[in-house]
Amino acid sequence: MSFVKIWIHAVWSTKKRQKQLDESKRKIVFRHMHENAFAKGILIEVVNGYSDHVHCLFRLRNDQTISKVVQLIKGESAYWINKQQLTKTKVQWQKEYYAVSVNERGVDNVKRYIQNQEEHHRKQSYTVEYNDFISKYGFVIKG
């Protein structure tokens, strides 16, 4: 038997960072993401975000890849949101996302950070958060 415990913090935004998810819709969408992921064997610890983006902390199983998990969550959720007509305009996620591994000792901090997105974004925009993340982890953006 293989034992795998790899934590991933992934973040993606709506296309063109449109602010499409108000607080009441976010709760519905994030609950659906969590329930749908569970049904597909995706081990989401917490999912939350703001009006234009999503943070997700999940564990990879030994037969999963980051790209496949993120693709399943993003693709199904956009389809479901649009089918339910939860927003005035069609929701699409940007193709790109960012993801980093999380040390076991850091899981609780990341979980709290994701759970506190409402408060966090009263003080800092997603653009600043995104740029800080890209800088902190040394990602290079080609333009």
Tell me: pLDDT of 132 over 80: yes
Return the residue matching tokens 């994030």: 30
- Return the CATH superfamily for domain 6-136: Transposase IS200-like (3.30.70.1290)
Give the rounded distance of the alpha carbon of 114 from its chain centre.
9
Q: What is the pLDDT of residues 37-93, one digit of tens each?
A: 999 999 999 999 999 999 999 999 999 999 999 999 999 999 999 999 999 999 999
% of the chain residues with pLDDT over 70: 99
Which residue in 93, 70, 95 sits closest to 8, CA to CA?
70
Q: What is the reported pTM?
A: 0.91
Does residue 114 have a pLDDT over 70? yes
Spell out the domain ranges in the chain. 6-136
